[in-house]
Chains A and B, each alone.
Chain A
Amino acid sequence: MQHPPVLTPEPGAPSQAPATVYKRAAARGAVFQAIQSGASFATVTHAAVAGEEAVLDIRGFDLWYGASRALWSVAMRVPRGKVTALIGPSGCGKSTLLRSVNRLNDLIDGVRVDGDMLLNGDSIYGSGVDVIELRKRIGMVFQKPNPFPMSIFENVVYSLRIDGERDRRVLEEVCEQSLVGAGLWEEVKDRLQDSALRLSGGQQQRLCIARAIAAEPEVLLLDEPCSALDPIATGRIEDLIEELKGSYSILIVTHNMQQASRTSDYTAFMYLGRLVEYGPTRDIFLNPQLAETEDYVSGRFG
């Protein structure tokens, strides 16, 4: 990966006492060096996280793509009803972690995992878990909008369709609620039978969010939902995430620091498959405990 960043001393150190074993100025770069050399290292998790009730509890999760390891004992409690952002440089395993939650990684040949995750207390990787049932409890939105090549209506009610729902009234009600929830209702209510492929990119992505929330998921996973969109569409999605906060527990991967700081309650910083620091967004951005986190959020590398 990258060379160790050339760091310059930071003037004006924050006033709070660091709660970690690493001294800020002295250890600058030490964490990355430790990770790169393969030494063991502990995630810095802020105390504030512990006070939250976890909807998703990731416990020492490892993942290998064949021989190469992509996740290194990631441990993380995703709080209920909050927005949690995953940040980190490209290729650090954010998407991998997200896909591990709904076990989409199972589809990739040669993937091996260790450790477990609990969704509302139920094991995700336990041996008797019905993956199909599990996925019904989790919603996911991908980087690139991927509406199905069918009508807007059918896209939204897809999760109900596959559960065998035939009642037209129920379907219509859910469709409207979800589209309203995704902030798309006003734009498409007159053309629900049109092909979803005719919507603009931003609309398509909101449609995908509507499709995900139609299933009333316990966790909503968003993998860089705005990276393929223009700034205006991005803004609308961010507003939408703001609105969904509270009613849904959201785990969002983003590349955009501003987006993370604006929309999320908690932020986790990942690096080379490790969860480096995890805490309330304010703290991560304004007062991180690790110099590496500070360097990353302030754009000095990444």
Chain B
Amino acid sequence: MQPAKTPRPRRVRTTSRSVRAAERVARTLISVGGIGTIAAVVLILVFLVSVVQPLASATSLEKPSLLPGSPKGEQPLRVGTDEYGLIGWALRSNGQLEYRDLASGAELERVDLTRGGIPPAASSAWAGGEFALAYPDGSLCLGRADFATSFLDHDKAPESLRALAVGEHAPHGRGRAQRIAAEQWRVQEPSTGQRPIVQLPVGADDPIAVVEATRTTKGFRVAWLTQSGRLSVGVLEERENPMTAELEVEISTFAAPAPTGATPPQRLVLTGLGDSLLACWEDGRALRYDLRRLDDIEISEEVDLLPEPSARISALELLIGRGTLVVGGTDGSLTCWFRIRPPLSSTRDGTRLMPVHALVASGPAITSLAASERSRILVSGTQDGELRVHYVPTNEERASVRPFESAAGPVMALALAPKEDAVLAYGRDSVARLALDVGHPDGSARALFTPLWYEDYSGPEHVWQSSSGSDDFEPKLGLVPLVFGTLKATLFSLLFGVPIALLAAIFTSEFLSPAWRTPIKSAIEMMASLPSVVLGFLAALIFAPFVQNWLPSVLALFFCLPLCLLAGAYLWQFLPARTAIRASGMPRLLAVAACLPFAAVMALSTGPLVERICFGGDATGWLNGSVGSGFPGWFWMLLPLSSALAIFAAAHFGGTWLRRRSASWSRRRCAGFDLLRFVALGLGGAALAALFAALLHAGGLDPRGSVVDTYVQRNALVVGFVMGFTVIPIIYTLAEDALSSVPQALRLASLGAGATPWQTAMRIVVPTAGSGLFSAIMVGLGRAVGETMIVLMATGNTPVMEWNVFNGFRTLSANIAVELPEAARDSTHYRTLFLAALTLFAITFVVNTLAEVVRQRFRKRSYQL
């Protein structure tokens, strides 16, 4: 008998305190971590947006403040302000230069520039306060309305200044002082610079009527016109006398052909560094002189600056760099002209002055213009008292205002403070000071994303060129070439990486025994751990020179490798059935591997041969367009496509028939026939390619200039190869996962129905895993888009927009890496780089989200199976 069981006391099950505590801690940590990550991403995004956002802000002109005690009088020759917009000056044609406190309106200083009471007969003034005054006797005074800056510390500052808050200013001495820090004051005082008087070689009976001057690297270049219509150009070279330490000026004079016309021209304009001279008449007619050879000055062309017949030129101004001439007319038109180099030009210097930007078409007469000294901002004033701020490259009117209360007449003169933070407008009986905030006109959506017509370009283009050596450089912040470069890098790396990665994934998941799968998968994933800087380094220093030296062979490999593999496959069929089946495992793999060196040898020998036969022995030269015709290029480019076409056509129009016929043939006979067919199709493809190539060639098309063109050592081909190495492991891993998650039952069903493993892979596994493969490619794409080091090191970073495989490009990411360290904080350039980062972020975000969405869908579907 069994002993009577005493019921065991029921164990009390409780969760211990420590387990609960651990649970709570883990939960908290995980939520903090998760929320923290999301918050970090959001914060980064917010930061990027906050840096970029000011690019969209408008240019603003604040309410004008009218200066008390403004001078009444005629239109000044030129007006200006000091660097801080505290003191203004006006140069009048009577030879008076007056400085005025812009807060109080009080006159601070008046400089008499007459020669013993005789006012200048002609004058010219240009940016930076520089002027040239010519007197009737032919003497020339070169000078500058300038300021002396000094600093005061606590001990030197008088009581009145100590009461100022930082930023405030007050009159001090002959000028104005501003407290710039706790114990520091800056004093600005007028200080007119005058150079020694120069005597121009003009006769006393033929006084100067018009003068124009500009600064050159060594001194000045001056052009003058006498009343009798004689035009001369003088070169002033300044040298310091080593004995006396005095400035000596040497002048050499050159005669120019007299301007032809009923009346002498009213204006002379020297453009650039004085290599071109314009003689302008009031009605818009202008003659352009070529001054590059001063002993042989010639008239290059005649242009009409004002097409409207009745209109008169009412304002002329040169933008920074003196390359762009702005013409304002009495018809209200405001047009920017610069010289471009058209393909066929009859002028001696090959250039032509063209109206490029029509800022204003018509309206009240333009009465005054002022160009910025640091950018292509232009301020214009009209007859009816309106003041407008333009940004020339984008042809935008950024702001407009009427500075004078009531319709007080024209804006007679304008000055833009050197820092672009204030505008000074001279009206008929008052002067207005307007605080200006230009914002980022060179970073507007239009500037960043539309083609702009920059100076020296022959048409509107997308250009990225953010900096250069010279001060008068025009920044070109077109993001499109960078986006293009990013897409090009992505495209070429995916073209190379995707097929390899997908085939490798199919191979491991469908053809490899499970025992081999894990080690091989890990090995390929190891590739991802190669630092991209190492890859970039290899690409730039080893791979790029190699490809350049062996270009024909490298290109030949693209043809030899598939050819060898196909030929190998056809030859394999000649093996007796028994042997073929026995050798279907490792031996076959080895045979495939043996095709690689064979193809390499073949490429090495055929590459130079093909180069000699088709490309005149100089593939790079052919690419440059210096040798050969387009035909062989078309032939080789079309060969893969036409072969595919030939194969497709053959399969479509005789495949079934052939299959029925060959069913009864012996294996050997089939193999022989297959090989023959392979050769025939290859030849057919070649013939087709030759036919297409001949047609295209006859049609006048040349492949050079499209995807193939001039060879540059660091190019998209090299980057495609090397970047393939970074995208292959990612795509491979994800694709392999997607393929192996296809239910085994499907594979068994297909194989059980007598499908080959390849048929099973292509017809069942790949379509079933399709969305997973797609998302793998998308993730790889995201990786390629963001890749920096390789493209930085191996592309040459030229922001060109062409599909040429053999040329470089610049990607968004590489551009950020290169330029951000040098960009001035908060400058347009800086913010634009952040916009580039944001664009990059957006692209990767969209791509990854797309990948994830598709992946989720795929997961749902694979549950269904």
Contacts and interface: CB of A to CB of B under 8 A. Distances in A.
A107 B864 CA distance: 25
Nearest to B743: A146
B70 interface: no
A130 B756 CA distance: 11
B767 A150 contact: yes
Interface stretch (A30-38, A44-52, A86-94, A159-167): A159-167
B581 A128 contact: yes
A149 B770 CA distance: 11
B542 interface: no
B865 A197 contact: yes
A208 B513 CA distance: 27
Given A109-B515, A127-B582, A164-B659, A146 B745 contact: yes
A10 interface: no
A74 B534 CA distance: 61
B655 A166 contact: yes
Contacts of A148: 746, 749-750, 764, 768
Interface in B733-755: 743, 745-746, 748-755
A56 interface: no
A166 B581 CA distance: 28
A224 to B, nearest CB: 13
A130 B768 contact: no
Given A136-B754, A158-B753, A215-B754, A104 B748 contact: yes
Interface string B746-789: 10111111111001000110011000000000000000000000
The majority secondary structure among interface residues of chain B is helix
B578 interface: yes
Contacts of A131: 581
B748 A162 contact: no
Give the size category of A's interface with B: 35 or more
A159 B755 CA distance: 7
A132 B751 CA distance: 8
A75 to B, nearest CB: 24
A146 B746 contact: yes
Residue in B655, B746, B753 whose Cβ sees the most chain A Cβ within 10 Å: B753
A164 B754 CA distance: 12
Contacts of B656: 164-167
B699 interface: no
A116 to B, nearest CB: 16
A211 interface: yes
Given A148-B746, A148-B764, A162-B763, A140 B581 contact: no
A56 to B, nearest CB: 15
A133 interface: yes
Contact of B514 (A109, A133, A150): A109
A243 to B, nearest CB: 22
Contact of B745 (A144, A166, A211): A144
Interface in B510-527: 513-515
B860 to A, nearest CB: 12
Nearest to B652: A166
A44 B749 CA distance: 33
A142 B750 CA distance: 12
B582 A102 contact: no
Given A127-B578, A161-B763, A167-B656, A135 B514 contact: no
Contact of B578 (A128, A136, A138, A149): A128
A208 B749 contact: yes
A260 B395 CA distance: 89
A164 B659 CA distance: 8
A171 to B, nearest CB: 12
A163 B756 CA distance: 10
Interface string A137-178: 111101010101110000000110111111100000000000
A132 B659 CA distance: 17
B861 interface: yes
A107 B767 CA distance: 21
A129 interface: yes
Contact of B754 (A132, A142, A144): A132
A136 B663 CA distance: 15
A137 B271 CA distance: 90
Contact of A133 (B513, B751, B752, B754): B754
B768 A149 contact: yes
B864 A197 contact: yes
Interface of B: 513-515, 577-578, 581-582, 655-656, 659, 743, 745-746, 748-756, 759, 763-764, 767-768, 861, 864-865
Interface of A: 102, 104, 107, 109, 127-140, 142, 144, 146, 148-150, 158-159, 161-167, 197, 208, 211-212, 215
Given A159-B753, A165-B656, A166-B655, 15 more contacts: A128-B578, A129-B581, A132-B755, A135-B752, A136-B753, A142-B748, A146-B743, A146-B865, A148-B746, A148-B764, A149-B768, A150-B767, A164-B659, A197-B865, A212-B753
